[in-house]
Structure 1
Amino acid sequence: MLRLRLLTWDVKDTLLRLRQPVGHSYAAEARAHGVRVQPEALSRSFREAYGAQRRRFPNYGQGRGLSSRQWWVDVVKQTFRLSGVQEESVLMVMAEKLYDDYCSAHNWEALPGASETLSQCCRRGFRMGVVSNFDNRLENILCQCNLRHHFDFVLTSEAAGCAKPDGRIFEQALRLGGVLPQQAAHVGDDYSRDYRAARAVGMHSFLLRAAGQGEEPEVPPEHILPTLSHLLALIEKGEDQHC
């Protein structure tokens, strides 16, 4: 590979993860309002509500008259409705509170090795950017989790107007980074949205895939990251081999 100049990063389940399942956070918020709902039921309802909202209003309702805040408030309210909570005034209060709670380190934590790997990449002189199917809360979440300072830019699907695996979001990132596709590599945990989508626009890419997570037959072993801390060694090996 050419000498890499830019590394772009997925965020959810690559650099940050939820501290606990969604259902547990939602159940705790419900208890604070005197409402008892099982976390497992809320997790199932969330998956259903989120999936339906994403199909109806892709990418947080971009171009459909919705703000991402309204998009998420509707998901939260529908999650509780599907779990049997119907009182509208309580639904609204809980939805607004949960939207704000998911904007902070209260519900997010860095994956093991994330901060150290990002620091090492910065010291090596890489430009760094985020390419994430996230809404506009991401800047604040990264600040709260003490990761924002590593990045030259944070590009969310909400800001870009398109979501991975759409190649246009990667093309925007390349323009922000000021590099050619072959001078950039993307790091993420999703085969289609991260690994394959970045390669489709001419970038290099690495797939974060822990042992036992299953294997993608089209991904060479030298593109697989068992952990984030393997990244620099793989980059150096690739540059040495001029692959």
Structure 2
Amino acid sequence: MLRLRLLTWDVKDTLLRLRQPVGESYAAEARAHGVQVQPEMLSRSFREVYRAQSRHFPNYGRGQGLSSRQWWVDVVKQTFRLSGVHEDGVLTLMAENLYHDFCSAHNWEVLPGASETLSRCCQRGFHMGVVSNFDNRLENVLSQSNLWHHFEFVLTSEDTGFAKPDRRIFEKALRLSGVPPEQAAHVGDDYTRDYRAARAVGMHGFLLRTAGQGEEPAVPPEHVLPTLGHLLALIEKG
């Protein structure tokens, strides 16, 4: 059995996922303003804009004087512009509304087994924390999703100034909990940002790999979670 005292958790696509594709949410907002745009086009535009914005202004532009709110409003406006919507007044309204929509649980749903697994981990006495490349809306989203009470701390990349796979966000989690890395494990769905990054600081790692995902390199089967419900069995077996 692994002698673990701390479990840290990724959020997006580990505990929570979007209820519908981004393009669907954006298209619904556009319809409310009398603007017709295809969800598929918005999804494509969003992916392109998000990648470029992340490259030019990493970690929500925190190091370049932006707030995450400005960062996201800019992403939404550029997504609509790339999809053929250019009226500034409507763009500003839609961007503000969508930013606030994604502040709440309205656009997020809890992954199957997440609440039960978190409750069982708390009952076993683990210290629990979040380590997420999310902006400062995360605590609100977790509260509204009824997950916040499981955690002793929530570290976002915006708050700490370091985004996974930067080791410093994991080191901060270890300092906050007072637990040495060999007694800690991180649970997440991304090989590089979650699994490999946690192991680089000496923590254990569990990779959530849902059906249909590609095989990642060099992950022993005892570190792979087909579902969150497998976690405690793997900890006890390890």
Tell me which interval the TM-score lies in, with the shorter structure as reference length: over 0.9
Q: Distance in 2 between matches of 1:20 and 1:189?
A: 19
Which residue matches 2:204? 204
Task: Tell me which residue corresponds to 2:81.
Answer: 81
> In structure 2, what is the equivalent of residue 178 of structure 1?
178
Unpaired runs of 5+ residues, structure 1, are 239-243
Q: Identity rate of aligned residues, in percent?
A: 83
- CA distance in 2 between counterparts of 1:215 and 1:175 reads 33
Cα distance in 2 for partners of 1:153, 1:105 equals 19
Name the count of aligned residue pairs: 238
Residue number in structure 1 paired with 2:150 = 150
Q: Secondary structure at the match of 1:163?
A: coil
Residue number in structure 2 paired with 1:70: 70
Deviation at 1:105, TM superposition (A): 1.1
The 8 Å contact of residues 103 and 138 in structure 2, kept in 1 or not, is answered as: yes
- CA displacement, residues 91-113 of structure 1 (integer Å, 9 cap, x when unaligned): 00000000000011110010000
Structure 2: how far apart are the matches of 1:212 and 1:186? 22
Whole-angstrom CA distance in 2 between matches of 1:2 and 1:210: 23
Deviation at 1:213, TM superposition (A): 1.3
SS at match of 1:63: helix
In the superposition, the TM-score normalised over structure 1's length comes to: 0.97
Letter paired with 2:147: L
Partner of 1:116: 116
CA distance in 2: counterparts of 1:17 and 1:221, whole angstroms: 24
Structure 1: 4+ residue segments shifted above 4 A? none
Q: Distance in 1 between matches of 2:153 and 2:176?
A: 7
Residue 227 of structure 2 corresponds to which residue in structure 1?
227
* Equivalence map 1:30-109=2 (5 Å): 30-109=30-109
Give CA-to-partner distance per residue, 1:141-185, whole Å, 9 cap, x none: 000000000000000000110100010100001011111000100
Residue 3 of structure 1 deviates from its aligned partner by: 1.1
Structure 2, gaps ≥5 residues long: none
Who is 2:141 aligned against?
141
Q: Bigger shift: 208-217 or 185-194?
A: 208-217
Q: Kindly state the Cα deviation for residue 228 of structure 1 after the two structures are TM-superposed.
A: 0.1
Letter in 2 for 1:163: A
Aligned to 2:191: 191
**8 Å Cα contact 2:69/2:99 also seen in 1:** yes
Q: Structure 2 length as normaliser, TM-score?
A: 0.99
1:4 aligned residue: 4
Contact 1:2 1:182 in 2 (8 A): no
Aligned residue number for residue 20 of structure 2:
20
The question of whether the paired residues in 1 share the 8 Å contact of 2:134 and 2:156 is answered with yes
**What amino acid does structure 2 have at the position aligned with 1:222?**
E
C-alpha separation in 2, matches of 1:214 and 1:179: 33
Q: Deviations over 1:61-85 (max 9, x none)?
A: 0121111000000000000000000
Q: CA deviation digits over 1:193-236, x for unaligned, max 9?
A: 00000000000000000233121230000000000000000000
Contact 1:163 1:169 in 2 (8 A): yes
The aligned residue for residue 132 of structure 1 is: 132
Cα distance in structure 1, aligned partners of 2:211 and 2:89: 46
8 Å CA contact 1:101–1:107 kept in 2: the answer is yes
**2-structure distance, mates of 1:97, 1:70:** 13
- Specify the alignment match of 1:241 in structure 2: none
Q: Greater CA deviation, 216-225 or 10-19?
A: 216-225
Q: Kindly report the root-mean-square deviation, in angstroms, between the aligned alpha carbons of the 2 structures.
A: 0.8
Q: Structure 1 residue 2: deviation in Å? A: 5.2
Distance 1:136 1:215, change over 3 A: same
- Which residue number corresponds to residue 161 of structure 1? 161
Residue 17 of structure 1 deviates from its aligned partner by 0.1
2:131 counterpart letter in structure 1: V
Specify the SS of the correspondent of 1:211: coil
